[in-house]
Structure 1
Amino acid sequence: MYHGPRDQVLPYFDSLGFKCPPDRDIADYLLDLGTRLQHQYEVALPVGLIKHPRAASEFAEHFVQSRVYAGLVDMIEAPMEPELEKHMSEYMDPVPEFREGFWQNTAALSIRHMTILWRNKAYVASRVAMTCVMGLIYGSTFYQVDPTNVQVMLGVIFQAVMFMSLSQGSQIPVFMEAREIFYKQRGANFYQTASYVIGYSIALMPPSVFEILIFGSLVYWMCGFVANVGAYFIYLILLVLTNLVLSTWFFALTAMCPNLDIAKPMSSFSIVFIIIFAGFVQPKSQIPDYLVWIYWINPIGWCMRALSVNEYRASKYNVCEYGGVNYCSEFNMNMGEYYLDQFGVPSSKTWLWTGAIFLILFYVLLLALSAYLLEYRRYLAPTNIQLLPKEIEDEAQEGYALASTPKHSDNTNSDTSHDDVMVDVPRREKNFVPVTIAFTDLWYTVLDPTNPKEGLDLLKGINGYATPGTLTALMGSTGAGKTTLMDVIAGRKTEGTIKGKIYLNGHEANDLAIRRATGYCEQMDIHSEASTMREALTFSGFLRQDSSVPDSKKYDTVEECLDLLDMHDVADQIVRGSSQEQMKRLTIGVELAAQPSILFLDEPTSGLDAHSAKVIMDGVRKVADSGRTIVCTIHQPSSDVFFLFDHLILLKRGGQSVFVGKLGDRCQKLVKYLEAIPGVKPCPPKQNPATWMLEVIGAGVSSGRARDLDFVDIFSKSEQKRMMDDRLLQPGITTASPDWPEVTFMKKRASKVSTQLYFLMKRFFALYWRTPAFNLTRFAIVLGVAIICGLAFLSVDYSTYSGLMGGVGLVFMSTLFMAMAGFMGTLPVYSNDRAAFYRERAAQTYNSLWYFVATTVVEIPYVLGQCLLFTVIFYPMVGFQGFATAVLYWVHVSLFVLGQMYFAQLLIHAFPSIEVAAVVGALINSIFLLFAGFNPPSSSVPEGYRWLYTIVPQRFSVAILTAIVFCDCPEEPTWNESLSQYENIGSNLGCQPLTEAPITVSHTTVKGFIEGTFSYNYDDRWSNFGYVFAAIFIFRVLSMVSLRYINHTKR
């Protein structure tokens, strides 16, 4: 529209037929041009112009033809002056791309990341507690393991490494949050990308070393690993390297994925590859040739091999005879080599150092990958999504210009002034009762953080009122108590002590009346992100208006909100990705759709430019003109915005009143009051009265004699204070009046139970459908897990010892990681929705019970669908047989996954942040999975932990799945002692004799080995089925209790 000298901007637009009024701020005037507000500046057209430009393209066309543009082009094309070239070479060319050097930036970033990590006390404390607890549990569970029980010995190593890999995934939300900051700072050339990556990796080293020292030492010495200092330090070094590699892998994953909804489940999917192809669940000899490359690039596989060699090639086990068995004569290898060979682990000691070297190289490769992704593959903010096609109006149409919003009220009791211009908004029947709110002698006290035994008064005897049809401003400096006062009178405070009285229509108000009669627009725009704007308004209208109001009127209310706030063009746009201005309008609209009598707005213009702020406040003015009482905190509005207000409550730092009363036309009453105080300089012409007022009372940026005045004392003795006191005593303000009915509500919530449940169900099904990052990802992960597991176990013989152990591990791991993917994906979805739940619960929008029911039901079809996809592919590929068994397998896998989804919801409701929920989830799941009966098997669980083994819910699911596949044998074969073989062998897999077993395992069948070693009994499948349902029921009850009684919002 214009690019040129500042002093020519007004003459230029004068030449196009626009004129800036004398009392209009020039910046506000320029912002209005090119919008529907420009009509008020249009004057007679200059000679040669047919019409005023309105569309952006028309302004651009006029500018290209102007002298200003010609001068700009001439200046650009003119040869550079020698003096400028000299300045260029002296001052511009030497300026580096980054202010500091690479290593200085790296050091600064390392220190910053360590500081940020240390300040996250809840996260640090939870990780330390998790590490200590799990170290003790693992150490005591596998206490002094018998090295001849190679399954358990290697299982200890496997479980330890797997625990570290699972726990590192809890850092993904932290990485993702840091990534958003990186994008902004890297875009401004704060530092090099490589500095950021290396700095972050250095910051991760101290906590990683600390965790390994605690966890690794407890496991090493309590489990009875070889008592050799050299072997101990090698063990620690390998675990530290693996820990760093996994941390860096998850760091790279956050750089690779567009959002948390994808990164979380993808982390679980990556762990599937890491664990299955580590060499324990499926030994290398059984991995198909076309997948063996995964085994060789697997960092946990290299760590497992190195740690196994470190243990079994120690001098203690590098012997021929051990435990009465001569391994050299029987197997042509020593004891350590024999047990390593059982799992296909190479026995050369060179694997110790090659493992360490590989981990270091892999670590460096991941750092390079992270740097590349962060530098060249950045993800921008989500874009707007329209669910319905919209017609874009031609901005040049005559309907482009609408009348400016005046101060106007239909209410005869209003204190507002009237104007001659009417707003072109359709008249609708009011579904609310006009209410006056007043408060007297309000005090609010909290504990002094510097002296917890003493109280700190944030509000001190505040009095005030607001009447229907008026717009009241709460103003003051930062820390004056504006938001605190609004929270107190709106009933939103959850902490501290409140004294004083609040009145609605002259009657003392209770908490229910305040919450039902008011709407509260918070400064942070919090909404369910997958809803459209119209759906958000409809949700609020139907759930917060009384059930006696017909549905047609509720829909009419939604249209009124769209009209008042000018939202028709974005009505079918999804909330996710909307601009800040659109979110502000939606926040106001959601509260307005509830048809409240009183509307509170906390800083509705924060973060907006002058034009956007004016658009928002024009909408607020319209809302006040509809007869509602509006109370609004605002920091430092433009003059245009300030002139929209009718009343002002001005606070001084410390929570005391400086002015309460009418502003008057163009704030003349306020200006006259302050100018009448001796020592106050008059308001200069064209100065914004809001800015001048704040500077006068000492809340602005200038200094002057007025700051020495006690404005609180002056107001308390003023005529303005007497007028306020008289007004407060009028009927309908703080005294009852027959003309102003008492505000009472018989029900806690406005809508019927059926309405609450319907709209919550509708919202959550829409949320899941419109969050493809979550659902498509988990379906893709299920597909990937099914195919990879199917290919890995395509032709495995489950009647061999290694094949059967691999099969049990396959059932355990495949089900586990499907559930983990769902668990990880559920955390961010419900974490994002929790803030909206707290806001809606505070407004008594619905009963948390129906929110709970909706979140319970919405998961079921998606879980059943994804598990059906998994079973259809996985079950026949891995060689399992029987249609009826396949159906049972699908049902029980679904229940296992569903239980983990519900467990994730429980953690989000119960804990303060997603980071803490992820850590606690990793801790509890690690304990559950440790005692699920796979490793250690039931026969090796210590007596002290039998109670825990008995109650772990995952054990029942794994027992059912394993038993129906491997233990179905109606008639077991008989052992012929003389022939040393089984007879009458049935066709079922469970009836087959177990072959190629270690010497420590006597003759048995597949079923006998599973039931004897793991206690996964076929006959217990239905009782276990009942226990699974009981566990899910307990998760849901705890989740319901958390929803009902825990609130992490502190006000």
Structure 2
Amino acid sequence: MIVGPTKTLFMDEISTGLDTSTTFQILKCLQQIVHLTEATIFMSLLQPAPETFNLFDDIIFLSEGQIVYQGPRDHVLDFFECCGFKCPDRKGTADFLQEVTSRKNQEQYWADKSKPYQYISVTEFANRFKSFYVGLRLENEVSVPYDKTQSHNAALVYKKYSVPKIELLKACFEKEWLLIKRNSFIYVFKTVQIIIVAIIASTVFIRTQMHTRNEEDGAIYVGALLFSMIVNMFNGFAEMALTVQRLPVFYKQRDLFFHPPWAFTLPNFLLRIPISVFESIVWMVMTYYAIGFAPEASRFFKQLLVVFLVQQTAAGMFRLTAGVGRTMILTNTGGALTALLVFLLGGFILPKGQIPKWWKWGYWLSPMSYGFNALAVNEMFAPRWMNKLASDNVTALGVAVLKNFDVFPERNWFWIGAATLLGFVVVFNVLFTLALMYLNPLGKPQVIISKEVAREMEGDQEESGKVFVDEVMDLVELNNLKDAIVGLPGITGLSREQRKRLTVAVELVTNPSIIFMDEPTSGLDARAAAIVMRTVRNTVDTGRTVVCTIHQPSIDIFEAFDELLLMKSGGQVIYSGPLGRNSQKIIEYFEAIPGVTKIKEKYNPATWMLEASSIAVEVRLGIDFADYYKSSNLYQDNTTDLTTIIGAMYAAVLFVGIKNCNSVQPLVAIERTVFYREKAAGMYSALPYALAQVIAEIPYVLVQSIIFSLMVYTMVGFEWTTHKFFWFFFVTFISFLYFTYYGMMIVSITPNHQVASIFAAAFYSLFNLFSGFFIPRPKIPKWWIWYYWICPVAWTVYGLIVSQYGDIEDTIKVPGMVIDPTIKWYVQHHFGYEQNFIKPIAGVLVGFAVFFAFLYAYLFFNEKYAHK
């Protein structure tokens, strides 16, 4: 902010989370900038130490929406002394100002004890300031009109951005490259994922078992092409988490005119091209000849081009989804829905001719339809397919395979598909740029309890037979807000300091014997901090122990503690012992060290202590304070068609399941953070909480499954029998449920939902490959059949197909077969599904749901990431 040409800076609570010494150093630097460059800085601070407060030239004192004082800092105490109030010697001026206008705290500062105290309101203070000499001088200054002849065009800004656009673009490229290096783990993980899946694919579709004899063999090759496209499509899933994570910083920089949105998009897009090229080459080198695609070099490079374009299209599509969604929950849900539509309308789950006419436009807008056509045409127009005849002894085998999948049997469709994919890449990134340009952040996700739920959460927290909640509310001065809605931070509901007091109250209401607090006063003004610490002090006086870390404590807050544990960088203790009255003990300890500067009068002991024990002082004195402490006397006292319908069922269940998996992850991650805090307070243990979360998902998934089953079952036109509908609903319900539990389990083994999203996506490709749809079970090599039996999606597809088609004796036409087989026979011999296996399927699906739920509860119970 300072590097730019800005002459006026507005800063709000910049010291939150910093200690007093660091805050003083920052403010000292800003003071020098103001004086040297004649800049203006308007700043609000929380709990400023006296030495920090003394750095300011002027202050504006606001209370209840009125200006009580505005003018030089040196005269503010004079004004209040004129009003009859005096700041005590061991009281910081800022803390005094916070309390002198408060009805509850004003009396203690009444100067003339011989006269009766009379409360002076904020309005009266404001009126008296107008007659005070500082107020009169201010009024005289603002009453003089500005002389426009003194203005100059050089003082005006005519450009939106302070530096040339090429420099902005260069800076954004450097920033993007730095972020790529910092996130190198993700890109290495994605590459390793590609390598592992490529090895699996090349051993499943192994060339020794891949033939080019008939249409059925062609279908296997098409399945391999589809899997290749899907793997590289899912490879772009990580873009959603990475983009959403960066949006808050981007929005701030955009609104401050650091750079235009296109300067963010271009590096984001261009620097990922080499990564995508490398991943595409790795995939092609490991799969193309191992699977046994057409051996011509030209077809290898053509397929490489399409795979690369599919990766870029997917990355752009998911990046756009993140730009529109803007939060992890909306983005994950929107990403799963987008992927579902792209796949269903891509021409391979539902062939082009079987897509309803009112959805035909979706086929032409789906990037996957062009990718599928390009890949299929490239392979099937190879000489080994075109030099053979299909089962009708008329059509070329390659053309017959293309027609079976409703692919355009024309050579030029490779270039049409590739060119269109390139167009999608451009369009998606342009739309992403427009989303960045015109959309604003939606805000952070919060755990919100509705009024309906709140009404059910009733009861009394009692201690020794009396209501304890009211007592705590009174302690933290929240009685006047007891019926208020918490709301969203910075938007609605309670203010920041009220939220902080509420958080402390929630912990106190559990009546713990020991309390650990991490910066309870950060983000609060002096009065609110004093209220919190007064509450803590009262809690200590009841016999409880409070261990607290605190930043920027005022003199009053610092001396409210009984003992101090002070550590240097590296965790070494340099003081542990009593503070003493007026911090006398610690002052005596450090002043006893030869060379340490004595504390100044009215200086904050906390600030002096940090300065006296700094690394610079250690170097200057040639002493290690940790070693000095260990050698002191004080130390001695202390001590982690059929296929189409099947494909439609498979795709719908899979992608709705993935949507459940993705959308539950950020919610569980947020609630996990809340849980660890509440568990530490002794509210409840991990197991009941985890079980409650597991059970709470069942009603939602049940309603979701009922709606899904009624709509899909009716529209697809399955046989309306109670038995078949029940099995369809049951398989759908359990599948959605285990996907939800799978997402929860993934969160429990990862530190955050961004990593969980990437980790979960790594298994989606394997779920696709071994589902039994792209390559039927009888065609899976025997060395991989074990994974088929442990793949949950394979059991879902098994259950859906067998429940609807396992007993149908109608005949169907199968390419390459002279006699039309029955559906039952085809299901049994092509897919390897047995109709009488439905009950074991149900048991296994329930087992998967229970297994994922159990793992989630078990891992949650171990609290692996509680320290996060």
TM-score, normalization by structure 2: 0.81
- Is 1:293 matched with 2:361? yes
- Note the alpha carbon deviations across 1:136-194, whole angstroms, 9 max, x for none: 11222122333433332222222221222233223422221111221223233332211
SS in 2 for 1:225: coil
User: For residue 93 of structure 2, what is the aligned residue in structure 1?
Assistant: 26
- Is 1:146 matched with 2:216? no
**Contact 1:892–1:961 (8 Å) recurs in 2:** yes
Q: How big is the shift at 1:269?
A: 0.9
Distance 1:384 1:12 in 2: 46
- Is 1:963 matched with 2:802? yes
Q: How big is the shift at 1:195?
A: 0.9
- Note the alpha carbon deviations across 1:244-279, whole angstroms, 9 max, x for none: 121121111112114212211221111111101111
Give 2:800's aligned amino acid.
L
Q: How big is the shift at 1:387?
A: 6.7
For residues 293-442 of structure 1, the aligned pairs below 5 Å read: 293-319=361-387, 321-322=388-389, 330-331=394-395, 334-382=396-444
Give 1:90's aligned amino acid.
A
Distance 2:308 2:450 in 1: 53
For residues 57-456 of structure 1, the aligned pairs below 5 Å read: 67=136, 70-71=139-140, 73-74=142-143, 77-82=145-150, 85-86=151-152, 89-90=153-154, 92-93=156-157, 96-120=159-183, 122-144=185-207, 145-147=210-212, 148-149=215-216, 150-319=218-387, 321-322=388-389, 330-331=394-395, 334-382=396-444
**Contact 2:85–2:109 (8 Å) recurs in 1:** yes
User: For residue 1010 of structure 1, what is the aligned residue in structure 2?
Assistant: 827
User: For residue 859 of structure 2, what is the aligned residue in structure 1?
Assistant: 1042
**Contact 1:340–1:346 (8 Å) recurs in 2:** yes
User: For residue 903 of structure 1, what is the aligned residue in structure 2?
Assistant: 742
Give 2:211's aligned amino acid.
D
Give 2:717's aligned amino acid.
G
- Note the alpha carbon deviations across 1:332-359, whole angstroms, 9 max, x for none: xx33333222222113333222222222
- Note the alpha carbon deviations across 1:788-807, whole angstroms, 9 max, x for none: xxxxxxxxxxxxxxx22211
SS in 2 for 1:641: helix
User: For residue 631 of structure 1, what is the aligned residue in structure 2?
Assistant: 547
User: For residue 561 of structure 2, what is the aligned residue in structure 1?
Assistant: 645
Distance 1:574 1:1001 in 2: 72
SS in 2 for 1:943: coil
- Note the alpha carbon deviations across 1:175-222, whole angstroms, 9 max, x for none: 211112212232333322111122212233233222222223323222
- Is 1:855 matched with 2:673? no
For residues 784-795 of structure 1, the aligned pairs below 5 Å read: none
For residues 562-641 of structure 1, the aligned pairs below 5 Å read: 562-568=473-479, 569=481, 573-574=485-486, 577=489, 580-641=496-557
Q: How big is the shift at 1:713?
A: 7.0
- Is 1:39 matched with 2:101? no
**Contact 1:130–1:923 (8 Å) recurs in 2:** yes
- Note the alpha carbon deviations across 1:264-301, whole angstroms, 9 max, x for none: 12211111111011111111111122211111111111
Name the CA shift for 1:608/1:1025 in 2 (closer, same or farther; >3 Å): same
Q: How big is the shift at 1:639?
A: 2.2
Distance 1:613 1:880 in 2: 66
Name the CA shift for 1:358/1:38 in 2 (closer, same or farther; >3 Å): farther
SS in 2 for 1:348: coil
SS in 1 for 2:468: helix
User: For residue 472 of structure 2, what is the aligned residue in structure 1?
Assistant: 561
SS in 2 for 1:599: strand
Name the CA shift for 1:13/1:894 in 2 (closer, same or farther; >3 Å): farther
SS in 2 for 1:902: helix
Q: How big is the shift at 1:107?
A: 3.7
Q: How big is the shift at 1:710?
A: 6.4
Give 1:566's aligned amino acid.
E
**Contact 2:345–2:363 (8 Å) recurs in 1:** yes
Distance 2:128 2:219 in 1: 82
Distance 1:247 1:672 in 2: 63
SS in 2 for 1:1027: helix
User: For residue 18 of structure 2, what is the aligned residue in structure 1?
Assistant: none
**Contact 1:581–1:608 (8 Å) recurs in 2:** yes
**Contact 1:532–1:572 (8 Å) recurs in 2:** no
Name the CA shift for 1:114/1:713 in 2 (closer, same or farther; >3 Å): closer
Name the CA shift for 1:1037/1:675 in 2 (closer, same or farther; >3 Å): closer
User: For residue 781 of structure 1, what is the aligned residue in structure 2?
Assistant: none
**Contact 1:275–1:300 (8 Å) recurs in 2:** yes
Distance 1:16 1:377 in 2: 53
Q: How big is the shift at 1:873?
A: 1.8
**Contact 1:603–1:634 (8 Å) recurs in 2:** yes
Name the CA shift for 1:102/1:531 in 2 (closer, same or farther; >3 Å): farther
Distance 1:120 1:6 in 2: 49
Name the CA shift for 1:72/1:874 in 2 (closer, same or farther; >3 Å): farther
Give 2:810's aligned amino acid.
Q
In structure 2, the gaps of 5 or more residues are 1-65, 113-117
For residues 934-949 of structure 1, the aligned pairs below 5 Å read: 934-949=773-788
- Is 1:1032 matched with 2:844? no
Give 2:809's aligned amino acid.
C
- Note the alpha carbon deviations across 1:472-517, whole angstroms, 9 max, x for none: xxxxxxxxxxxxxxxxxxxxxxxxxxxxxxxxxxxxxxxxxxxxxx
**Contact 2:226–2:372 (8 Å) recurs in 1:** yes
- Note the alpha carbon deviations across 1:820-878, whole angstroms, 9 max, x for none: 11111121121222234444555665443323322221111111111101112221122
What is the identity percentage for the equivalent residue pairs of Structure 1 and Structure 2? 27
Q: How big is the shift at 1:72?
A: 6.4
Q: How big is the shift at 1:562?
A: 2.4
**Contact 2:87–2:109 (8 Å) recurs in 1:** no
Q: How big is the shift at 1:361?
A: 2.1
User: For residue 517 of structure 1, what is the aligned residue in structure 2?
Assistant: none
**Which structure carries more helix by proportion?**
2
**Contact 1:991–1:1007 (8 Å) recurs in 2:** yes
Equivalent of 1:1020, from 837, 845, 868? Answer: 837
Name the CA shift for 1:695/1:229 in 2 (closer, same or farther; >3 Å): same
User: For residue 6 of structure 1, what is the aligned residue in structure 2?
Assistant: 72
Distance 1:115 1:899 in 2: 39
Give 1:282's aligned amino acid.
L
Distance 1:161 1:63 in 2: 74
- Note the alpha carbon deviations across 1:302-355, whole angstroms, 9 max, x for none: 111111111122344344x347x675xx24xx3333322222211333322222
Q: How big is the shift at 1:384?
A: 8.8
Name the CA shift for 1:712/1:122 in 2 (closer, same or farther; >3 Å): closer
In structure 1, the gaps of 5 or more residues are 390-529, 543-550, 729-733, 735-802, 969-989
Distance 2:103 2:708 in 1: 56
**Contact 1:679–1:705 (8 Å) recurs in 2:** no
Give 2:610's aligned amino acid.
L
TM-score, normalization by structure 1: 0.68
SS in 2 for 1:644: coil
- Note the alpha carbon deviations across 1:965-1006, whole angstroms, 9 max, x for none: 2233xxxxxxxxxxxxxxxxxxxxx232214x4235741122
Give 1:585's aligned amino acid.
R
User: For residue 811 of structure 2, what is the aligned residue in structure 1?
Assistant: 993
User: For residue 822 of structure 1, what is the aligned residue in structure 2?
Assistant: 660
Name the CA shift for 1:31/1:935 in 2 (closer, same or farther; >3 Å): same
Give 1:183's aligned amino acid.
Y
SS in 2 for 1:991: coil
Q: How big is the shift at 1:1047?
A: 1.0
User: For residue 489 of structure 1, what is the aligned residue in structure 2?
Assistant: none
**Contact 1:17–1:43 (8 Å) recurs in 2:** no
Give 1:112's aligned amino acid.
K
Q: CA RMSD in A?
A: 3.7
Distance 2:411 2:811 in 1: 36
